[in-house]
Structure 1
Amino acid sequence: MTQKPEPHHEIDGDAYVSPRHLASTTGIGDPAFAPLLDLGWSIEHDDLGNAYTNAPDRKVRVGYLPEGEDDGLWRINAYRDPFGPPTWGACFNDRTPTEFVTAFTTALAKAYEQGPATYLARPVAGVDEHDPFLAVVPLLKQGWEIDRPRWGVFAIQAPDGLAGMEYTTGDLDPEAELSTRDARWQLWAGTSIDRPVWYATASTDTPVALLTAVTECVADPAPLPRWRQDTYSYIKGMAQLTPILPPAPPAPTPLDVRRAVASRRPAALPAASVPRWSTTSRPALPGPRR
């Protein structure tokens, strides 16, 4: 049974989308920038509406490019030499669910705090936490299966067949990895990898910890909230949309119950002055005779 998050007033949307790889983008860049800005990174905007943030040492750069030259909305690069070519690069297109980008930048912020040995760590097969295979483990645990084998490509596919991940073996062009979809890693959703609804790519030397943060987010069975009117028609036909109900009122406390009962009780009439007889009371005087 699909796990559903508890409704609360901060949810931005009127429907839950399941599976979450069909949720698409929220169209907001702030959540993915937040982990980096919290470290004190600077942010700049150009006249077109694009935004950029840089690490203090200029060795990591993140671009949010709604007015870029292609559909690569997010481009993230890391450098050993800030004046040299990128050591690794990742790209998320303009329909990638925002939560997946945020998972990447959150892991990147953590890695940056740990130093270059972490955020520039190269994947190495068979070496503990740097083994590339670790990146696909979260998906396999959620029922993703190995896809039809192709020469030089390891691929897995979601249970519904509407998402996949590929790892290309052999030598690749480093420049093409950074500027095209011909990268070492590609994660996508849709009916075909050739025309995906969204995709994300990562070059050969992208640290495994960053990739794993994304696949863990993708593999999470909890649905994602979205606004129905902003949901692409393709997704409406493929995904399960569950209405988000308003939050249930809190359970009444005993004090609430007493107050409610008191509010429904009719007001008491003023008490009449009734003389009471007691041993200290004086006897009533006889009335006048007629």
Structure 2
Amino acid sequence: MPYDPSERWREYHVTPRYLAGSTFTGDPALRPLLDVGWKLTHDEMGNVYANAPDQTVRLGYLPEGNDDALWKITAYSDPFAMPRWLVTFQDSTPTEIVQDFTTALAAAYNEGPDSYLYYGNGYLAALDAGTPLAAAGWSHRYGAADISFESPDGLAEVHLRRNRLDHTAEMAGHQERWLILAGPPGNQWYATASSFTPECLVAAMNSALIDPAPVIRYGEDLRRLPPQATATPVRPPVPTPLDVRRAQAANARSTVAPSPAGAQPFIPAPRPPSAPQVPRPGHSR
């Protein structure tokens, strides 16, 4: 849909959500963690960090980071050791997908370490995290090095690496167990998850990717959408009968001026009788 400058603030429903792009604000994805007591800090460059109360999980929102991974989430079985797992989202990732992940992370954190630190080791168990993709009709292919899932429109894919990976390289962001790629060629975003990421969190990433619910974007965002995305204007809600009655009552109150206290009603003076009209020449009554 072409961009119309006069409708820059008009709301649109965009589908599929993996083509909607980022909203360029981290607040929606940070909120689930702040709601369960995580602490927010920031550095002098504008990067934001959310830390779990026990310091075992840390999220970074890094607009001034040293690469294009806008979001980095790490978990630690020992706060002084190398992270146990790492999840990243590139800067063009739709914010709603990150928000679904942090919502799942907040729930897992409340359940305890077994949910957010462990149960990410088994390869067969990891394959179960791809079940939402298969259930949504994504095709899959078993290769020598990975298992790949592809969306019906061919514009999103998920890869599960089958080969042995180096943990240090994974924590440095050089390798990944799970890789999500979405968007047309030349306009893709990515997300990654390392080997020990709990299956429930990987499944949350995949479920967020395939969620059919549209996301809200504004008129000025349409310039950044790929042509394969669908943008439908959001219609104003139809007023209910109660809304109509309330509006009518409000209008009546606003158009009838109240009388001052003690004021007497105005009674117009009687008109004097009008003189009889004399017919004009040439005009018959």
Q: What's the TM-score once normalised by structure 1's chain length? A: 0.77
SS at match of 1:246: coil
Is 1:158 paired with 2:151? Answer: yes
For residue 242 of structure 1, what is the aligned residue in structure 2?
Answer: 232
Asked if the contact 1:188–1:196 (Cα under 8 Å) also holds between the matched residues in 2, the reply is no
For residue 282 of structure 1, what is the aligned residue in structure 2?
Answer: none
Give the residue type in structure 2 aligned to 1:182. Answer: Q
Q: Superposed, which structure 2 residues align to 1:53-132 within 5 Å?
A: 53-125=50-122, 131-132=125-126
- Describe the shift of the 1:79–1:59 C-alpha distance in structure 2 as closer, same or farther (beyond 3 A): same
User: 13, 30, 36: which one pairs with 2:27?
Assistant: 30
SS at match of 1:176: helix
For residue 169 of structure 2, what is the aligned residue in structure 1?
Answer: 176
Is 1:142 paired with 2:142? Answer: no
SS at match of 2:128: helix
Structure 2 residues not aligned, in runs of 5+: 1-8, 253-285
Q: Partners of 1:199 and 1:83 in 2: how far apart?
A: 29
Asked if the contact 2:18–2:183 (Cα under 8 Å) also holds between the matched residues in 1, the reply is no
Quote the offset at 1:124 in angstroms.
4.8
Q: Partners of 2:157 and 2:146 in 1: how far apart?
A: 12
Asked if the contact 2:180–2:192 (Cα under 8 Å) also holds between the matched residues in 1, the reply is yes
Quote the offset at 1:181 in angstroms.
5.6
Give the residue type in structure 2 aligned to 1:205. Answer: F
- Describe the shift of the 1:228–1:113 C-alpha distance in structure 2 as closer, same or farther (beyond 3 A): same
Quote the offset at 1:46 in angstroms.
1.0
Q: Partners of 1:169 and 1:161 in 2: how far apart?
A: 22
Quote the offset at 1:137 in angstroms.
1.5
- Describe the shift of the 1:88–1:240 C-alpha distance in structure 2 as closer, same or farther (beyond 3 A): same
Q: Partners of 1:53 and 1:220 in 2: how far apart?
A: 26
SS at match of 1:110: helix
Is 1:225 paired with 2:216? Answer: yes
Q: Partners of 1:172 and 1:166 in 2: how far apart?
A: 14
Q: Partners of 1:71 and 1:167 in 2: how far apart?
A: 22
Give the residue type in structure 2 aligned to 1:110. Answer: A
Percent identity reads 44
Quote the offset at 1:228 in angstroms.
3.0
Asked if the contact 2:13–2:216 (Cα under 8 Å) also holds between the matched residues in 1, the reply is yes
Give the residue type in structure 1 aligned to 2:98. Answer: V
Q: What is the total number of aligned residue pairs between the two structures?
A: 244
SS at match of 1:86: coil
Give the residue type in structure 2 aligned to 1:146. Answer: H
Asked if the contact 2:62–2:71 (Cα under 8 Å) also holds between the matched residues in 1, the reply is yes
Is 1:18 paired with 2:6? Answer: no
Give the residue type in structure 1 aligned to 2:170. Answer: E
Quote the offset at 1:254 in angstroms.
10
Q: Partners of 1:100 and 1:115 in 2: how far apart?
A: 23
- Describe the shift of the 1:200–1:126 C-alpha distance in structure 2 as closer, same or farther (beyond 3 A): closer
Asked if the contact 2:121–2:196 (Cα under 8 Å) also holds between the matched residues in 1, the reply is no
SS at match of 1:237: coil
Q: Partners of 1:174 and 1:51 in 2: how far apart?
A: 26
Deviations 1:40-98 (A, max 9, x none): 21111111110001111111000000010010000000000000000001000101111
CA RMSD in angstroms comes to 2.6
- Describe the shift of the 1:255–1:91 C-alpha distance in structure 2 as closer, same or farther (beyond 3 A): closer
Q: Partners of 1:64 and 1:141 in 2: how far apart?
A: 32
Structure 1 residues not aligned, in runs of 5+: 1-11, 263-290
Q: Superposed, which structure 2 residues align to 1:183-222 within 5 Å?
A: 183-192=176-185, 197-222=188-213
Quote the offset at 1:178 in angstroms.
2.7
Asked if the contact 1:165–1:188 (Cα under 8 Å) also holds between the matched residues in 2, the reply is yes
- Describe the shift of the 1:159–1:87 C-alpha distance in structure 2 as closer, same or farther (beyond 3 A): same
Q: Partners of 1:228 and 1:173 in 2: how far apart?
A: 45
Q: Partners of 1:254 and 1:26 in 2: how far apart?
A: 35
Asked if the contact 1:71–1:93 (Cα under 8 Å) also holds between the matched residues in 2, the reply is yes
For residue 38 of structure 2, what is the aligned residue in structure 1?
Answer: 41
Quote the offset at 1:251 in angstroms.
3.4
Give the residue type in structure 2 aligned to 1:67. Answer: E
